[in-house]
Amino acid sequence: MLARRAETPYDLPRCVVRPHTTEQVAQILEWADRTRTPVVPYGGGSGVSEGVVAGGAVVVELRALNEIIDFDEKSRLVRTQTGVLGPDLTKALKSWGQTLGHEPQSLRISTVGGWIATRASGQLSARYGGIENMVAGLEAVVPGGRVLRSKTKPRSATGPDVASLMIGSEGTLGIVTEATLRVSPLPTEAADRCVRFQHMADGVAACRKLAQSELRPLLVRLYDPEDSAIFLRNHPHETPGTLLLLSFSGPGAGRRADAAVELSSGIPGDNDLVAHWWEHRNDAVDELMTLMAGEGILGPHALVDTIEVSGTWSDLRAIYHSMKEGLGNVADIAACHLSHVYPDGGCLYFTLASACDDDAAAAETLERWWDTGMTACLAAGGSISHHHGIGRRKARWMRAELGEWWELLAAVKKAFDPNGIMNPGALGL
C-alpha cells in the first residue's frame, strides 16, 4: 500500500491464472516446473507479511476453487476446496448448525488455503485453537504436478506428520487445494465480562491464571493503556487503561465468566465494552486501508503496521517491555494487546502508527520498526510470529529464529521443490 501511495513502480506478475479444479492446478505446476517458471499462490491477498510478491511470476489465483464439497455430520468434518472465502464457509456451516471457530479479523477477505498456508489463528483461539488444530486432512499439488492426498483422521502415530508440512508453508512447497476441517456445534449460551487493572503485569498474570484454569474462555484480550485508547476511540466516556475483555460460551457460560472475574483479582468493568468489541472487531480492515491511503487522521504520509510475536509466560514480561520500549522510540504510537492465550504462554500484538513527513520517510520508518521489533523480540526469547507468518518481511530473522533447524527446512524445500519455483523468497527460502 505504501508503494502504491508513493507511486513507486513495482513489477507486475507475468500472468495470472485462475484454476477451477485440482487437475488444472496440477497442469499448471507440471508446466511451471518443466519451464522453471516461478509460481506464487494467491488466496484472498490479505496476508500482511509480504508473502505474495509476484513480480515476474505466474500468480495462481485460487478463488475459483470455491466448492464446499461435503459435511460429515457424524464426524463433524467439512471438506472444502481452499479458495473459499471466510464468510462463505461460515454461512454454509451455520446452515448446518456448526462453526469452524476460526475467526480472524480478516475473515471477510481471506481464504481457507491462505489460513492453512500462513498457519493463521482467529480471535477465538482460546476456545478453538489455531488453524493447525482444525485440519484433519488435506490435498496439495506439488511441483511437477503430483497430487498428494492425506488420510483424514482424528490423530495417528505413523511417523512424523509429513502432510502437516503444508501448514505454514506459505506457498513455498506446493498449493493446498482441498482441506477437511474439524467443526463444532454453534454455542448456545454466551457471557461477556470486562475487567480493569492498575498495571499491565496484573492483567498478564490474570490471563495466565485463566489460560491455566478449567474455565475454557472463548475470548481473552488484554489491552495496554495505549491500545485501549485505540479500542475506545469511539467511546469518549470510557477511560483508557489496562483492560481485559472476556467471553465465554457453552454450558455454564455465566458461571464460568463470574469465576474468571474473581480469579483475575481485577476490578469489574463495563461488560458492554465486550459487546462493543464484538460489534466493531473487524473494523480495522477498512480503517487501516483508509489510513494507509493517506486519507485518515494521521495525514497523507501515515504509516501503520502490526507486529505479533509469542512467548512463554516466563518470558512474556521481558518481551513486552523490551519491544514496547524499543518500538516506542521509533513509532508515534506503539500499542499492544495480549491475546491467543495458552497454558504455557501467549501472543503480544503491537499496533504501530506514525505520521511521517513524506513517503520516503515512511518507508525508512517501516524498516526501523521491523529491525527494532524483531531484534527486541529475539533478544528477550520470543518467537518472531504467532500467526501472521514470515513471508518476505520477516525472512531476515528466520535463521535466528530456527537456529540449526533452518538447514532442515531448506532441505525440505529442496525435496518438495527441487527447481525452486514455488513462491521464491517467502520464508527466506
Grid coordinates representing 377 are: 523480540
Stretch that binds ligand FAD, among 6-14, 105-113, 151-159, 253-261 (CB under 6 A): 105-113
Residue 82 as a binder of ligand FAD (CB under 6 A): the answer is yes
Among 28, 52, 206, 380, binds ligand FAD (CB under 6 A): 52
Closer CB to ligand FAD, 61 or 258, in the complex? 61
To ligand FAD, the closest distance from the beta carbon of 340 in angstroms equals: 9
Residue 387 as a binder of ligand FAD (CB under 6 A): the answer is yes
Residue 113 as a binder of ligand FAD (CB under 6 A): the answer is yes
Among 32, 93, 117, 135, binds ligand FAD (CB under 6 A): 117
Residue 426 as a binder of ligand FAD (CB under 6 A): the answer is yes
Closer CB to ligand FAD, 197 or 349, in the complex? 349
Stretch that binds ligand FAD, among 110-118, 244-252, 264-272, 328-336 (CB under 6 A): 110-118
Among 22, 80, 81, 111, binds ligand FAD (CB under 6 A): 111
Phi, psi of 15 (to 5 degrees): -165, 170
Residue 48 as a binder of ligand FAD (CB under 6 A): the answer is yes
Among 13, 19, 43, 373, binds ligand FAD (CB under 6 A): 43
Residue 351 as a binder of ligand FAD (CB under 6 A): the answer is no
Closer CB to ligand FAD, 177 or 249, in the complex? 177
To ligand FAD, the closest distance from the beta carbon of 78 in angstroms equals: 16
| Nearest alpha carbon to residue 44 among 89, 14, 79 | 89
Residue 42 as a binder of ligand FAD (CB under 6 A): the answer is yes
Three-class SS of the chain: CHHHHCCCCCCCCCEEECCCCHHHHHHHHHHHHHHCCCEEEECCCCCCCCCCCCCCCEEEECCCCCCEEEEECCCCEEEEECCCEHHHHHHHHHHCCEECCCCCCCHHHCEHHHHHHHCCCCCCHHHHCCHHHCEEEEEEEECCCEEEECCCCCCCCCCCCHHHHHCCCCCCCCEEEEEEEECEECCCCEEEEEEEECCHHHHHHHHHHHHCCCCCCCEEEEECHHHHHHHCCCCCCCCCCEEEEEEEECCCHHHHHHHHHHHHCCEECCCHHHHHHHHHCCCHHHHHHHHHCCCCCCCCCEEEEEEEEEEEHHHHHHHHHHHHHHHHHHCCEEEEEEEEEECCEEEEEEEEEEECCCHHHHHHHHHHHHHHHHHHHHHCCCECCCCCCCCCCCHHHHHHHHCCHHHHHHHHHHHHCCCCCECCCHHHC
To ligand FAD, the closest distance from the beta carbon of 113 in angstroms equals: 2
To ligand FAD, the closest distance from the beta carbon of 114 in angstroms equals: 2
Among 215, 288, 333, 334, binds ligand FAD (CB under 6 A): 288
Residue 423 as a binder of ligand FAD (CB under 6 A): the answer is yes
To ligand FAD, the closest distance from the beta carbon of 170 in angstroms equals: 4
Q: Are 139 and 147 in contact (CB under 8 A)?
A: yes
Stretch that binds ligand FAD, among 89-97, 269-277, 381-389, 402-410 (CB under 6 A): 381-389
To ligand FAD, the closest distance from the beta carbon of 189 in angstroms equals: 25
Residue 150 as a binder of ligand FAD (CB under 6 A): the answer is no
Binding stretches for ligand FAD (CB under 6 A) = 40-48, 51-52, 62, 82, 104-106, 110-111, 113-115, 117-118, 120-123, 170-171, 175-176, 284-285, 288, 387-389, 423, 426
